[in-house]
Structure 1
Amino acid sequence: MIVGSCLLAFTYYHINFQNGLAEGGFVGLALLGKYLFNLSPALSSIALDLPIVLLAWFLKGRKFVVHTLIATLTFSLFYELCEQFSPLTMNLQDRLPLAALLSGLLTGIGAGLVLRAGGATGGDDILAMLLSERSGLKIGTVFMILDASVLMISLIYLPLKETLFTIMAVLIAGKTITWTVYYGQKPRMSLHLPYRVKEKTARA
């Protein structure tokens, strides 16, 4: 879970941020709120995350929420360390297809590792997990739908080129998340997360 969180932070800073790729999920919604209504992104993110975390407490148990808090704090700490101390610059602005490919693969693996360990990295991840369990869709597919929807709406203020390549990264990430979560697991018709992850959270 910690490895997955660190990989996400590394990718978001060195690939997404450094190359101007947009944001989906709750972060993208918070930025959209800033653009449309001048709402504070920090407060908007909390307002979006908090009810989902509380819902997860009742549906998934305390252990899952604790894992999610650990993953989220690890992500924030490692991102801050990258921002403050990393000497690495990955300038791929002239090769955005490569940036989108790397972003999709690495964020997909990172998020998938966190999910396999029985946690999540934010309210939007939890929402995707809950919707996956109740809709019959694979979790990577739900991620793709939610993020791509936010990005399409965000086209009202985001640059078209970077947003389209971000959508490409989201589509790759969704497939990679599904592969990472399910790898080595026997398929189960009624569950859309590995049984081991389900069993851990059910006992919480």
Structure 2
Amino acid sequence: MTRILIIIIGSILVGVAYNLFLIPHEILSSGLSGVAIMLGIITPFNTGLLNFLLNLPLLILGVLKLGKRFIFYTILSVVVLSVSLYVIPIIPVSTEPILSSVFGGVLTGIGIGLIFRSSGSSGGFDIIAMLLTQKKDFPLGALISAMNAVVVIASGFVFTWDAALNTMVAIYATGKVVDTIHTKHIKLTLMIVTRKGEEIKQKFLSSLYRGVTLMDAEGAYSGERQKMLMVVITRYQLADVKKMLHETDPNAFVNITETTEVVGSFHRS
């Protein structure tokens, strides 16, 4: 319940940042929300409605392909953000575009950081990148950066290049604040020895968006055959993982170590 409340607050903060700081000065955010803002400015349609419609097919795919808990939190975030954009009036707090881009980016970063800390995402390009990396071994960060670059370039052509530069400032500020709140994506490696390897594997795959390696293991003293699972998670998923392990096999042996770096496909939210 606490996570749901945090996601709702974070999504409302993002909506406030968009409608009070970014949209009045034709400044875009990162991701699919930036596309929704651009279309909302150049068409008569509301940005909140466009944000929901653009994310809808991706959310449907996410339900089918990604972890259930993660996609539930993402759906909640997208719905609350879309409603916020629809309800909150577009009123410029500042007349200075550069100040609006900085403060709008910071406020967006706070909101998205809170969403990430609660194991969700704001949808859009995050879902696209995750779906693509299931098929090809591409780094998620590079994919999302490339898609955000398209948003910045589009901003320059559709509006002005001043607006594009301000968009870059807003995206940079957002990224820095998200890293600060999300403590630079601390990762943990879990080695789990258990008699219920298949049950734990299925629970992880259905509830976490994480790859799991399953190996045969044998007790050196007892000679008992068991399973060993290796999984890399973010620190904020640890409480959920501990709960799942306690429910499935309270006697499982778990070794938890902090991971310095992960090379390859790893979702960092």
2:119 match: 118
Letter in 2 for 1:149: V
Superposed CA RMSD in Å reads 3.9
CA separation of 1:187 and 1:25: change in aligned 2, threshold 3 A: closer
Cα distance in structure 2, aligned partners of 1:24 and 1:166: 8
CA separation of 1:30 and 1:5: change in aligned 2, threshold 3 A: closer
Q: Report the 3-state secondary structure (helix = DSSP H, G, I; strand = E; otherwise coil) of the residue aligned with 1:156.
A: helix
1:103 match: 104
Cα distance in structure 2, aligned partners of 1:32 and 1:68: 22
Q: Would you say how many aligned residue pairs link Structure 1 and Structure 2?
A: 192
Whether 2:31 is the aligned partner of 1:25: answer: yes
Give the superposition deviation at 1:7: 0.6
1:76 match: 82
Write 1 or 2 for the structure with the bigger share of helix: 1
Whether 2:119 is the aligned partner of 1:92: answer: no
Give the superposition deviation at 1:162: 1.3
CA separation of 1:129 and 1:107: change in aligned 2, threshold 3 A: farther
Give the superposition deviation at 1:144: 4.4
Q: Report the 3-state secondary structure (helix = DSSP H, G, I; strand = E; otherwise coil) of the residue aligned with 2:88.
A: helix
Letter in 1 for 2:81: F
Which structure's CA Rg is the greater one?
Answer: 2
- Bigger RCO of structures 1 and 2 (CA < 8 A, at least 6 apart): 1
- Residue identity (%): 24
Q: Report the 3-state secondary structure (helix = DSSP H, G, I; strand = E; otherwise coil) of the residue aligned with 2:89.
A: helix
Q: Deviations over 1:1-52 (max 9, x none)?
A: 1111011011000001122213542244467789xxx9x9989866753443
Write 1 or 2 for the structure with the bigger share of strand: 2
Q: Report the 3-state secondary structure (helix = DSSP H, G, I; strand = E; otherwise coil) of the residue aligned with 1:155.
A: helix
TM-score, normalising length: structure 1: 0.70
Contact (CA 8 Å) 2:155, 2:163: kept in 1 or not? no
